[in-house]
Each structure stands twice: as structure tokens, then as C-alpha cells.
């Protein structure tokens, strides 16, 4: 079974990313995967999310989506809350555009189950190098550096409650998988393993590392021996790491765009290709920050 995976396209609201999205679709199509996984952060605007998924959907392929934190940012214009978006709106968009919405239920493709959610963070990824008080993580602000979910996610859960909620859903999804399932692929936006994060020993970078994921989620995965692969986004640094029986990888594109409009190579380096036929075989994967040196999208 071949899996193509990408995340964090962060589609610009001014339409300037249309070419990039088309390139991603062309390259992913050429790989002829059995499953196409997109691990969140397309847009905080649900209309753009819908248009983008409609463009990206691959024919003759199982298309899967989990939302990212940006996708669930509440919308002032439409009145949609984070919970509206996570629990109903994005699921409906996925249904309309031909994607399975993993937070609703796992998707089983022959002998492999795809299980996933947005995941969340509980500050367990915090760096021990810096003495940052607990309340700074809760308020998402440290010395003027702000993690923007504080302004943009309006559900009532604390971060630990949200992490716990998604963990319990994951445990439930794993517990009801049929015995015929031989392999499990976990797909999330936030990271289940600390080792998937890049620490730089500088601030505010390592303050923000605390908002990357939760180690408790990875512990649940390690307890289920059928889990062979974990695909995530969120960190805009691409990494691959073996954690016991699990190959864990981040597959983001990120915010930068080539100045010359040469989207093909950015799209190509953004799509990971994995074959599950003989263990976990990585066919295509570029590590690091593939947007390094490129200017930010002009409208963000
Ligand atoms: Fe992102
Ligand atoms: Fe994100």
C-alpha cells in the first residue's frame, strides 16, 4: 500500500497559492498512491479549506483529512466557533469534497486502519533548558512572544482537557478495531512524540515547542503494537524518527514561497511517499525546512 502525505499548506487568502495547490495535486496524482493523507493547516477560512480539498482530492484513491489548529480558528464573519468547525463543519466539507474525516471514525483500507484526530498539546514538550513558569504556557505568552491559538481557538477546554479528550477518543478508536486489521497508521496534526520536534535552545523557538504536541498521545500509540507509522504536521520542520516499532514523521510545506513562482520543486519536496508492503519503506521524503530562505507569503 502506497501512502502520499502532506500538511501545512497554509493556503494564502488572496488566491496566490492556486498554482502551488494544483502542483501538489499533479505530483501526488503521479505517485498513484492508494491513500492520500493531509494532516491539517490548510486555512482558517472554511471556504478556502473547502476549495483546496476539492482541488487536492485524488481519483482512485482513499483521501483522508485531519484538521490543524489553524483550520479550527473561529470565524468572526460566519460566526463559526472552533467546536462547530471541528465537530461538524469540517466533517461536512470533507464529505462534500471526497475526503474521509478521521476525527469522526477510523478508515480501514484492506489490512490497514488509519486512525486520527487533530491531537493537541499539554506542554509536555516544553524545553527543560529554560525556566518558564507554568502560567506562561497557560496564557500562551512569554516575554512578548505569543502562541496565536490564545486569540483564535474559542472552545472551553483547557489545553490539558483537550489533549485528554483526543487521547480518550484515540484509545476508543484503537480498542474497537477489528482483529483483521494488521497495521495501524496514526494521523494527527499535533505531534505524538517529543522526538519529532526540533529544539534549538533559543527563545522564543523553544517556548513555542511546548505547543507542538503531547507525550501522552505517543504512549497510547506505543501500547498498541499494530501501530507502525505516525504522520503529523504542525511543526514546520520535516523530521523522521523511529520510536520503537513506530516510524514517526512530520510532512509540512510551511509558509515560504519561491520568488520565481517555481512551485513544482516546493510541491515535490513537500509530499512524502511511503510504502507499507514490506514494513515501512520511505520512497520519497525531504527533511528540514523546505521553505528556508524563501520569503513569507505576502498576505500573512
Ligand atoms: Fe502549520
Ligand atoms: Fe499547526
**Residue 246 is assigned to a structural domain of this protein:** yes
d(CA 72, CA 82): 5
Dist. CA 181 → ligand 1 center (Å): 31
**Residue 295 is assigned to a structural domain of this protein:** no
Position 226 scores a pLDDT of: 98
Position 131 scores a pLDDT of: 94
Ligand with smallest separation from the Cα of 212? 2
Dist. CA 223 → ligand 2 center (Å): 26
Residues paired with residue 7 on neighbouring β-strands, in sequence order: 252
Q: What averages of pLDDT result for each successive group of 10 residues across the chain (300 residues)?
A: 98 95 98 98 98 98 98 96 98 98 98 98 96 97 97 97 98 98 98 97 97 98 98 98 97 93 94 97 97 73
Query: What is the residue range of 256's domain?
Result: 2-284
Dist. CA 99 → ligand 2 center (Å): 20
Dist. CA 6 → ligand 1 center (Å): 11
**Residue 297 is assigned to a structural domain of this protein:** no
Tell me the CATH number at 270: 3.60.21.10
Within 13 Å, how many C-alpha atoms sit on residue 137's CB side? 23
d(CA 284, CA 259): 25
Residue-wise pLDDT for 85-113, tens only, equals: 999 999 999 999 999 999 999 999 999 99
Compute the Cα dihedral for 122, 70, 237, 52 and give only its sign. positive
**Residue 289 is assigned to a structural domain of this protein:** no
> Cell 498539546, residue?
121
**Residue 293 is assigned to a structural domain of this protein:** no
Ligand with smallest separation from the Cα of 255? 1
d(CA 161, CA 249): 25
Distance of CA 272 to the CA centre of its chain: 13
Q: How many domains does the chain have?
A: 1
Position 300 scores a pLDDT of: 38
Dist. CA 167 → ligand 1 center (Å): 21
d(CA 118, CA 123): 16
**Residue 9 is assigned to a structural domain of this protein:** yes
**Residue 11 is assigned to a structural domain of this protein:** yes
Which of these, 6, 227, 233, 199, lies nearest to 117 by C-alpha position?
A: 233
Dist. CA 236 → ligand 1 center (Å): 6
Dist. CA 283 → ligand 1 center (Å): 24
**Residue 300 is assigned to a structural domain of this protein:** no
Locate 61 and state its grid cell: 484513491
Amino acid at each position: 500500500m502506497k501512502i502520499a502525505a502532506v500538511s501545512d499548506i497554509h493556503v494564502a487568502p488572496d488566491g496566490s497559492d492556486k498554482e502551488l495547490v494544483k502542483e501538489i495535486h499533479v505530483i501526488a496524482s503521479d505517485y498513484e498512491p492508494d491513500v492520500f493523507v493531509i494532516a491539517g493547516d490548510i486555512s482558517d477560512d472554511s471556504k478556502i479549506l473547502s476549495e483546496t480539498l476539492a482541488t487536492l482530492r485524488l481519483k482512485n484513491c482513499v483521501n483522508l483529512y485531519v484538521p490543524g489548529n489553524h483550520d479550527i480558528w473561529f470565524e468572526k464573519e460566519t460566526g463559526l466557533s472552533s467546536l462547530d468547525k471541528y465537530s461538524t463543519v469540517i466533517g461536512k466539507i470533507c464529505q462534500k469534497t471526497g475526503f474521509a474525516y478521521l476525527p469522526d471514525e477510523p478508515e480501514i483500507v484492506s489490512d490497514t486502519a488509519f486512525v486520527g484526530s487533530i491531537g493537541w498539546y499539554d506542554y509536555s514538550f516544553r524545553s527543560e533548558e529554560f525556566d518558564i513558569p507554568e502560567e506562561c504556557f497557560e496564557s500562551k505568552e512569554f516575554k512578548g512572544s505569543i502562541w496565536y491559538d490564545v486569540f483564535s481557538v474559542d472552545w472551553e477546554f483547557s489545553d490539558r482537557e483537550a489533549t485528554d479528550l483526543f487521547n480518550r477518543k484515540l484509545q476508543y478508536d484503537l480498542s474497537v478495531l477489528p482483529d483483521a486489521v494488521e497495521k495501524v497508521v496514526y494521523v494527527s496534526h499535533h505531534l505524538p512524540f517529543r522526538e519529532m520536534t526540533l529544539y534549538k535552545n533559543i527563545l522564543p523557538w523553544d517556548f513555542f515547542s511546548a505547543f507542538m504536541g503531547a507525550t501522552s498521545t505517543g504512549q497510547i500509540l506505543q501500547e498498541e503494537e499494530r501501530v507502525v507509522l505516525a504522520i503529523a504536521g504542525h511543526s514546520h520542520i520535516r523530521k523522521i524518527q523511529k520510536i520503537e516499532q513506530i516510524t514517526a514523521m512530520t510532512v509540512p510545506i510551511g509558509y515560504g514561497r519561491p520568488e520565481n513562482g517555481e512551485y513544482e520543486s516546493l510541491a515535490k519536496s513537500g509530499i512524502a511517499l511511503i510504502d507499507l508492503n514490506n514494513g515501512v519503506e520511505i520512497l520519497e521524503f525531504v527533511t528540514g525546512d523546505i521553505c528556508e530562505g524563501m520569503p513569507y507569503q505576502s498576505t500573512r
